[in-house]
Copies of this chain bind each other. A is one copy, B any other.
Amino acid sequence: MRQSGPLPLDPDVAMSSSLNARPAILALRSSKIREVANAGMGRDDVLPFWFGEPDEVTPEFIRNAAVAALQGGDTFYTQNLGIPELRDTIAGYVSRLHRPTPVESVTVTNSGMSALMLVTQALVGPGDRTVILTPMWPNLVEIPKILGGQAVTFPLRFTPEGWQLDLDRLLATLTPDTRLLYLNAPNNPTGWAIDRDAQKAILEHCRRHGIWILADDAYERLYFDAPAGQPDVAPSFLDIASPEDRVVSTNTFSKSWLMTGFRLGWVIAPPPLTDTLATLIEYNTSCAPGFIQQAGVAAIRDGEPVIARTVARFRTARDHLVARLNALPGIRVARPGGAMYAFFQVDGMTDSLTFCKSLVAEAGLGLAPGIAFGPEGEGFVRWCFAADIPKLDAGLERLEKVLLRRKAA
């Protein structure tokens, strides 16, 4: 340590109350999922289904690609928008799944999260009005607030047949002064997937009023209801939008290729916006690590069997969990069309945060409280079913015991 000590503080000058961020940032919601998880910290008897993360290590061939790049000395800066090989690979992948997509539309990002932040920085300024479909994973609702934007939530409606979108009311909420619509489908936490007719109506409306559509397509490959003979991919705005549309799709390697720990994602955007994203990446993270980008190339090139296996595994897990949940007393759950969550309602339960904390304390069961996804999620609980059947069954037993005890009380 240097010899020169600290300058003494004058108590009249030091004000610890202002030792924190500006008010808009202090007002951001922190994660209520983490609040529940923290309550179980240090206990190794908790069965965790709270986070949105598959329970498998990244496939070896993907890890090996990163290892080979590290051993080969790939440890320098890369281009802001990503290495050409990965951008080409993503362009080819999106072209195969959706529509011809030039490499000039592709931006590589340090996570799907970063993709959402970058696009928001580009498009949403102070006072800008954004509309967000809820229930929604909390991050999307908070991002515009960091930029000074306004986040108007629009709730889906729960029915025993599934979550439903009131399209007319949504279009009425998308007023001409709206800058951006955030839409995540297949949706976290509800599993709701949008259909083609609704997409067309939304795109036409947004075209008319110059509203940007930001489609968070993180779960597009975790889609369980593709017609026979069609690829396992959810309907995408990219299928129906042209490159001249104000439509941006963000994506991630996390879920489809089991790569949460790699923090790698991408954006498909009109080429002029892509140029701007390059500038913004310079000022956010500068680039994604080159050896991680090499892992991304391997994942897309050789990873279709991984996705097929994962979709089959999750479909089985979904069917099993939904059937068993619906057989429990006082539980109602709709079969999710995509993603990896059962979002279920518990009869008479009105404080999901307290309920989930008590599940941890009383039964060692880790689930995510519905309130974490907005006020529309209150009364619900999210269960990530990216896990094997015995583990799901063990969790179901624990839940049943608590429910029976509640009923007896």
Task: List the interface of chain A (C-beta within 8 A of B).
Answer: 1-2, 4-7, 9-10, 13-16, 18-22, 24-26, 28, 30-31, 51, 53, 57-58, 63, 66-67, 70-71, 73-78, 95-99, 110-111, 113-114, 117, 121-126, 128, 139, 142-143, 146-148, 196, 200, 203-204, 207-208, 210, 230, 233, 235-236, 239-242, 244-246, 258-263, 270, 272-273, 275-276, 278-280, 282-292
Q: Which residues of B contact A260 (CB under 8 A)?
A: 75-77
Please determine whether A98 and B283 come into contact, CB atoms closer than 8 angstroms: no
**Contact between A276 and B113, CB atoms less than 8 A apart:** no
CB of A11, distance to nearest CB on chain B (Å) = 10
Q: Which residue of B lies closest to A273 (CB)?
A: B20
Judging by beta carbons under 8 Å apart, are A6 and B240 in contact? yes
Q: Given B9, B14, B148, B283, which contacts A125 in the complex, CB threshold below 8 Å?
A: B148
CB distance from A27 to the nearest CB of B (A): 10
Complex: how many Å from CA A203 to CA B58? 48
A188 vs B148: C-alpha distance when bound (angstroms): 31
Query: Is the pair B123, A148 in contact by a Cβ cutoff of 8 Å?
Result: no
Contacts of A10 in B (CB 8 A): 207
Q: Closest approach, in angstroms, between the C-beta of A158 and any C-beta of chain B?
A: 26
CB neighbours (8 Å) of A113 from chain B are 282-286
Within the complex, what minimum Cβ distance (angstroms) separates A184 from chain B? 15
Q: A15-B210, A21-B122, A57-B73 are in contact. Are A289 and B262 (CB under 8 A)?
A: yes
* CB contact between A28 and one of B4, B123, B235, B283 (< 8 Å): that residue: B283
**Option from B4, B76, B203, B263 in Cβ contact (under 8 Å) with A289:** B263
In angstroms, Cα B6 to Cα A31, docked, is: 38
Chain B residues whose CB sits within 8 angstroms of the CB of A273 once the complex forms: 19-21
